[in-house]
Amino acid sequence: MTFDEKMAQECEVSVVMPCLNEEETIAECVRKALDSFREHGIKGEVVVSDNGSTDRSVEIATSLGARVVHQTKKGYGNAYHKGISEARGRYVVIGDSDNTYDFGEVHKFIEPLRQGADFVMGTRLKGKILPGAMPWLHQYIGNPFLSWFLNFLFHTGISDSHCGMRAFTKEAWGRMHCKTTGMEFASEMVINSSKAGLKTAEIPITYYPRKGESKLHSFRDGWRHMRFMLMYSPSHLFLIPGFAIMLPGILLMLLLLRGPVYLFGHGFDIHFIVLGGVMTLLGYQIIHLGIMGKAISAEKNILVDDKFIRFMNKNFTLEKGISIGLLIFFIGFLINVYILASWIGSGFGELRMVRPAILGLILIVMGIQTFFSAFLMSMIGMSKAD
């Protein structure tokens, strides 16, 4: 048995703290965690994942009995990836080393894991936020909105999705497949735990004011979380808006195809059929981007067990995509050939078939787009074609 294997057997809990110049607070964080181990009979270790500190943080943590690992790649997520990968415990508790979280409450996070939970989230919003611990913009707008938005997109049921103190089993960590390297790591973990079907529990906690300068950037970090959540959900970013634009466009074109429509004494004519055509093309393009986004996400193992991906893998081939594209193209082409033949047959007189001409051109463009998109989807790896 190797030394690491022996230590893993003896260690039940690893407390992992990312650290970047936290000499004012790292000592108290380490002490609280170690005291919690002693008070509650927990066999554990404290792992400090240093992300390039230039102060005495490493020296202080080591002197108190923490095991320090070094992550040279900058980033909140990178620090956690390194620390968690080095953790020897069966259970892992994570939290910032700025003393805003009480590591004396480690045992509260471990108990649900012992009882069968896979993932335990702290919740400041259901616990207590001490005066000065969180700016009012974060407490009453930022964090509640980001948690609502994450739940709207991914249905996680988590009340405080950006609480930094959380715990999980090492097995659950392997199922989360977290990849991000920055602040969005916090959102990714919650989303992936939900997608993996992990059994989740919440623990109300107290959030304390930090000492020293905060490393958070309200709007920049908030946008990074928003950006990540949107990119992680191609359906909401592309498909839903695409259909919301395309379907009214199609309806508008069909209503005006035979002639102007009068409503409340106002006539809707050629200008609105052009508008419908533009909306149809725009929505169709956005839908295609969504399909590509889902395909790329599936290739990168970001989307797991997605119904749309399963459907496409089962039914889509390059040949089917080409055939659909050519069919749409030739319908539009034949419409315009008919218009041209009618114009020639009338002795090149006045052309009165503008409406079907617009429809034909729209179909030609959609057909060409579908044709080339089929090749792109196959290149991404979504197709079963040889």
Q: How far apart are CA 348 and CA 14, in angstroms?
A: 84
Average pLDDT for the chain:
90
The CB density around residue 31, as the number of other CB atoms within 10 Å, is: 16
Higher pLDDT, 263 or 142: 142
Q: Say if residue 22's pLDDT is above 90.
A: yes
Nearest to 169 by CA among 194, 198, 205: 198
Residue type, 241: P
Query: Is 3-231 a domain of CATH 3.90.550.10?
Result: yes
Report pLDDT digits (tens) over 277-332.
999 999 999 999 999 888 888 777 777 667 787 888 788 888 999 999 999 999 99
pLDDT tens digits for range 159-182:
999 999 999 999 999 999 999 999
In this predicted model, what pLDDT tens digit does every residue of 40-51 receive, in sequence order? 999 999 999 999
User: How high is the pLDDT of residue 220?
Assistant: 83
Cβ density class 137-172: b for 16+ within 10 Å, e for less? ebeeebbeebbebbbebbebebbbbbbbbbbbbeeb
Average pLDDT on 1-9 reads 52
pLDDT score recorded for residue 6? 53
Query: Given CA atoms 15, 19, 22, 23 in this order, what sign does their dihedral have?
Result: positive
Tell me the pLDDT band of 344, cut-offs 50, 70 and 90: confident
pLDDT at 23 over 60: yes
pTM of the model: 0.81
| pLDDT tier for residue 3 given thresholds of 50, 70 and 90 | very low
Three-class DSSP category at 377? helix
Name the 3-class secondary structure at 267. Answer: strand
248-262, 343-357, 365-379: which range is least confident on average? Answer: 343-357
Q: How confident is the model at residue 203 (pLDDT cuts 50, 70, 90)?
A: very high
Cβ pair 203, 115 in contact under 8 A? no
Give the separation between CA 87 and CA 364, rounded to whole angstroms.
Answer: 58
Higher per-residue confidence, 38 vs 306: 38
Percent of the chain with pLDDT over 70: 94
Domain ranges for the chain, please list them.
Answer: 3-231, 234-380
Query: What is the model's pLDDT at position 385?
Result: 42
If DSSP codes are grouped into helix, strand and coil, which group holds residue 131? Answer: coil
Does residue 111 carry a pLDDT above 80?
yes
Name the pLDDT band for 155 (thresholds 50, 70, 90): very high
Residue 8 confidence (pLDDT) = 54
Residue 24 pLDDT exceeds 90: yes
* Whole-number pLDDT of residue 216: 67
At 203 the three-state DSSP class reads strand
Per-residue pLDDT at 65 = 96
